[in-house]
Chain A
Amino acid sequence: MRSFLKHIFRFAMFLVIQVLVLNQVELGAGTLIIIYPLFIFLLPVEINIFLLLFLAFALGISIDALSNTYGLHASSMLIFAYFRPIILKVFAPRDGYEPDVELNFYSMGYRWFFQTFGVLLLIHHFWFFLIELFRFDEAFYVFKLTVLSVPMSFALCILLQFLLIRKPSKGL
């Protein structure tokens, strides 16, 4: 129950930060900082895949409704949620994941987080800009936007985890 409330709170928080703050940040050349995939990433490992896809869709379409992008965020969010179990399987530790541990920067180590979340964010951003531009002669522009936006989104996602998640005590 507590974790349920926690995720509801996070859903609202990511929505508000993305729509009211980050969508207004202009860094030039059409780049965009996107942090809401972190919400899907921080959900429990053993969550039902249908629920995962539905939550991703719900968050995406809510952001779309507030920023006039008509399903663009929902589409790229679904891609992120669909690839999450696949990427988690690829980068799984030798003994598998512990069922009640949240997958974050602290619990899994920076190297693991860098690999999994980095790859997923790259897929997400690439799809987002591909659909947004949707022209073959702007293919180079898609790569440029992806490469420029991913590091900034990634850095902010790490920063956000310092604020959101209490560091586990060393005695455990």
Chain B
Amino acid sequence: MRNFLAFIRRFRVLLFFALLQGFALTVYFTFSNYPRSQYLTTASDVSGTIMDWRNDITKHFALSGSNKQLQYENRWLREQLLANKLSLLAPVGIDSVVIKKEDFVQRFEYIPGGIISSSFNRRNNYFTLNIGSKQGVKRGMGVISSKGVVGVIHNVSEHFSVIKSCLTKDINVDIMINNSGEPGFLKWNGGDPRRGSMAGVSNDRSIKKWSKIVTRGKSGIFPRGIPVGMVEKSTPVEGYPIWDVTILFAENYRTVQYVYVIKNIMKTEQELLEATIPPDPAEE
């Protein structure tokens, strides 16, 4: 016992250092995968409010750009309205091809929000949103802007939430090449915030340069067909039958400000149904 106390006294500085260091490293390595609380992030009330104040000042610098972007988006949505289209198939008055409102149910809802704090030069970049659980945001929901995919909700508090952006190591959004339907996963290798990569594309089909890459919508986080970017180049990986595809992102993550959080109304239904699939005995 005396020896033990002497040991503690001798190495007390090192032990205190190791204790604090252990805490910091535990927080660092577990929070990025399993966020248990929001106290040490910008989703907390204090940090969120400070970021909100800063955003109140800095958001005006990009005002004309964001206004223009919103106007373009409005124009595109307006052109989608059926009232602005002329039917080529059937003359007016024939019921069989008139699309009725009752034939559709809402599957995705969009919650508007603004990014109040972001980083884009670190290895894993998280954005802070000014909406939280009060507005209906939940962990795991997808986030898009008018140009493309932004990320997935990582951590939620009452009034703020943190997005795991596309500029993180393991974002793994399921995406596909628009024309061929070739599936893959979105990755980011660090360094360049304009370029990501697509993993798991088999090389038995050639990939056209500048073909569009969109979300696949398999897991129900994003609807199918949300733009991600374009194929910039594809190089063969030595020893594996896959392509290494470089993506030029559609969204410029440095300046993204206004986003929509996607709420999938039928997500629970899909998950419950998928849970009834019996496990594969070969995997066990």
> A111 vs B17: C-alpha distance in the bound complex, in angstroms?
29
Partner-binding segment picked from A24-32, A34-42, A114-122 = A24-32
Give the shortest distance, in Å, between B239 (CB) and chain A (any CB).
16
- Asked if B77 is at the interface (CB within 8 A of a chain A CB), the reply is no
Contact for B119 among A23, A27, A28, A71, CB less than 8 A: A23
Q: What are the residues of chain B within 8 A of A28 when measuring CB–CB? A: 121
> Quick check: A30 and B121 within 8 Å, CB to CB?
yes
> Quick check: A26 and B121 within 8 Å, CB to CB?
yes
Give the shortest distance, in Å, between B139 (CB) and chain A (any CB).
15
Please tell me the number of chain B residues within 8 Å of chain A, measured between CB atoms: 36
> Quick check: A66 and B16 within 8 Å, CB to CB?
no
> Quick check: B47 and A61 within 8 Å, CB to CB?
no
Give the shortest distance, in Å, between B38 (CB) and chain A (any CB).
10
Interface residues of B in 17-33 (CB under 8 A from A): 17, 20-21, 23-28, 31-32
> A54 vs B126: C-alpha distance in the bound complex, in angstroms?
27
With A20-B54, A53-B16 as given contacts, are A68 and B190 in contact (CB-CB < 8 Å)?
no
- Asked if A102 is at the interface (CB within 8 A of a chain B CB), the reply is no
With A31-B121, A64-B40, A66-B42 as given contacts, are A71 and B126 in contact (CB-CB < 8 Å)?
no
> Quick check: B13 and A50 within 8 Å, CB to CB?
yes
Give the shortest distance, in Å, between B271 (CB) and chain A (any CB).
28
Q: Of all chain A residues, which has the CB nearest B126?
A: A68
> Quick check: B120 and A61 within 8 Å, CB to CB?
no
Residue ranges of A at the interface with B (Cβ–Cβ < 8 Å): 20, 23-24, 26-32, 49-50, 53-54, 57, 60-61, 64-72, 74-75, 78-79, 82, 131-133, 138, 141
6 cross-chain pairs, A with B, having the tightest CB-CB distances, nearest first: A71-B28, A71-B27, A68-B126, A70-B31, A75-B24, A74-B24
